[in-house]
A and B are shown apart, each in its own frame.
Chain A
Amino acid sequence: MSRQELFRRMRKSYFFVIGATLVLIIVLVALFSHYIAPHDPIKSNLAKRLLPPQGLSGGWSGNVMGTDPLGQDILSRLMVGSRVSLQISFSVVIITAVVGTALGIVAGYFGGIVDTVIMRFSDIQVSIPPIVLAIAVMSVLGNSTFNLIMVLVFTRWVQYARIVRSNVMMIRNTEFIHASIVLGSSKIRLMFTQIFPNVLTSLIIVISQEFGRTILTESSLSFLGLGVPPPAPSWGVMIADGREYLSTAPWVVIVPAVMLMFTVLAFNFLGDGVRDILDPKNKN
């Protein structure tokens, strides 16, 4: 696909335009959260605890979205928390893509025993529900951001490996690969300079779909107290903190919950847009 055609399809896809714009805004806010947040996100002030959202009536430095049980400003925590959540999701998606792709290429290219071992392991892996596995592993290892990322990678690599593998098996026997072998390419070179570019499209589609899911899983784990350790204000932690105040101060839950939904929606829009652009036949 030419560059012009790519841009034309990008502009034509509403999903892509809306998703990309929203994601860009969210990422920018997350990146600069420390500068633009009106308050210190982890400074408690018990005199100001559980204040309802006051909009902009108190100006930007008021508690625009209210305060939580410790008197911390919810908007500031939301902004800084988006950074925590996004950092984790990006790391997970990138590492999973690298690991999954490498295993998928190796399995698809070599076939035989290597393929059998990797694929049978993936069968076992997908037989354990991801959240349950993550809960079990996190409870054993203890919660730290590093463990959280590793666990999420461990539960999601199969997705990539399977798609990449089936792609590799399709192109392994094409003429340009044979030509490359005849020209004396080493296996490593073949896998990463000839085969890899050809699975890139499928890979980008999967990656774009995975962000939303990863953010959701991370928030669920953090909600259960098995994600990001305190005092980092992850969204899941913020939602969990508000659970006891559902009747007296519902905004403590509603604000991060709606923000989480909105963010995942933005990433899902982007994911659907990317698929529309790269794989117009698949309208699932």
Chain B
Amino acid sequence: MLKFILKRLAYTVFVLLGVSILTFLLLKLTPGSPAVLMLGDDATKEQIAAKEMEMGLDQPIVTQYLRYIGNVLKGDLGTSFFYKMPNSKLIFQRLPATGYLTLAALLLALLVSIPLGIIAGVKRGSFADMLAMVFALLGQSVSSVVLGLLFIIFFAVRLRWLPVMGYGGLAFVIMPAASLAMQMAALITRMLRSGLADVLQEDYITATHAKGIDSSTIIFKYALRNAILPVITVVGLQVGTFLGGAVVTEQIFGWPGIGTLTVQAIGLRDFSLVQSILLVISACFVLVNLLVDIIYTLVDPRMDFN
């Protein structure tokens, strides 16, 4: 198992290096020299040339990349053109808010979808099953933009139950978290429903019934353990969609996280900041999946480590 984890770690390093190359190339695609963006339009040719030299832009591209990755490893993600502050500082200031939102959404998604998926899977064809399916189908068809705005119109503007936007406790986080959670909740409900229904038809479940073990023990102790495995993987893979959705959701609810920072950075054409955000978000995503894979090995003893 240790060998598997080490292999998985090496792979993670490889992927992160690849991501850093992509984000590095992205900044190279920007029209115009970054030196001009930093100095403003009224800079003289000499000033621009001097700045380019200082930033190493006259070096070959490989040297530039090595310099970039060297800085990243030292924790230096570059300087924001607009804020004139280190990108890392700007991003890490905003990271807690995004973490709070995504965790709240994840929790909400699991709290809704796991009971719903279990009921639907166990009592197939029942009214509860139908409700769960309608929830899943609608949930997969609605984007966090649509849901967020509809929530604001009904719960904040019409009913006045919740604040329209802002950062804070439960009253503030519930609408953005719910609109972000919907897609994942729908997906997990569906997966758990079909997974559980399949597992319940397996011979070993019939055998436990024959032994006279009561139904709830069978479902929770024997069936659920198998049905939940694919769900764990999907949750990990969906974290990427989640982080992307957070960008949009934060924008709608004025949530002071990475998403709002991204949209601001784009508006200001602060590409160095955009690049750093892309790198940090992807790194979070890759690390979450590393974690998920390690958890998986602990939950599933049949796991093949080769």
Contact = CB atoms under 8 A, between A and B. Distances in A.
A283 interface: yes
B248 A224 contact: yes
Contacts, number: 137
Q: Which of A136, A137, A139, A257 lies at the interface centre, i.e. has the most chain B CB atoms within 10 A of its CB?
A: A136
Contacts of A261: 138, 141-142, 146
Interface in B227-286: 240-241, 243-245, 247-248, 251-252, 262-263, 266, 269, 271, 274-275, 277-278, 281-282, 285-286
Contacts of A135: 247, 262, 266, 274
B66 interface: no
B175 interface: no
Contacts of B27: 140
SS class, residues of chain B in contact with chain A: helix
B145 interface: yes
Interface in A96-146: 120-121, 123-124, 126-133, 135-137, 139-142
Interface residues of B, number: 55
Interface stretch (B51-59, B150-158, B214-222): B150-158
Nearest to A133: B278
Nearest to A269: B137
B143 A224 contact: no
B26 A239 contact: no
Interface stretch (A78-86, A163-171, A215-223): A215-223
Nearest to A213: B140
Nearest to A282: B194
A246 B153 contact: yes
A268 interface: yes
Interface string A245-256: 011001001100
Contacts of B19: 124, 127-128
A260 B30 CA distance: 33
Contacts of B75: none
Nearest to A126: B240
Contacts of B145: 219-220, 223, 236, 239, 257
B254 to A, nearest CB: 11
B194 A129 contact: no
A253 B145 CA distance: 10
Interface in A211-233: 212, 216, 219-220, 223-224, 226
A186 interface: no
Contacts of B223: none
Nearest to B271: A140
Interface string B197-222: 10000000000000000000000000
A260 B146 contact: yes
B118 interface: no
A170 to B, nearest CB: 19
A128 B22 contact: yes
Contacts of A131: 241, 244-245, 247-248
Interface of A: 120-121, 123-124, 126-133, 135-137, 139-142, 212, 216, 219-220, 223-224, 226, 236, 239, 242-243, 246-247, 250, 253-254, 257, 260-261, 264-265, 268-269, 283-284
Nearest 4 pairs between A and B by C-beta? A131-B244, A124-B18, A265-B141, A129-B240
26 contacts: A120-B18, A123-B15, A123-B18, A124-B19, A127-B18, A127-B289, A128-B22, A128-B278, A128-B281, A129-B241, A129-B244, A131-B245, A131-B248, A132-B243, A132-B262, A132-B282, A136-B278, A137-B26, A139-B271, A140-B27, A239-B146, A239-B149, A246-B149, A257-B150, A261-B146, A268-B141
Given A260-B146, A268-B140, 15 more contacts: A120-B18, A126-B240, A127-B18, A127-B285, A129-B243, A129-B244, A132-B244, A139-B266, A139-B271, A140-B29, A212-B141, A224-B251, A246-B153, A250-B153, A284-B191
Interface of B: 14-16, 18-19, 21-23, 26-27, 29-31, 137-138, 140-146, 149-150, 152-153, 157, 164, 190-191, 194, 197, 240-241, 243-245, 247-248, 251-252, 262-263, 266, 269, 271, 274-275, 277-278, 281-282, 285-286, 289
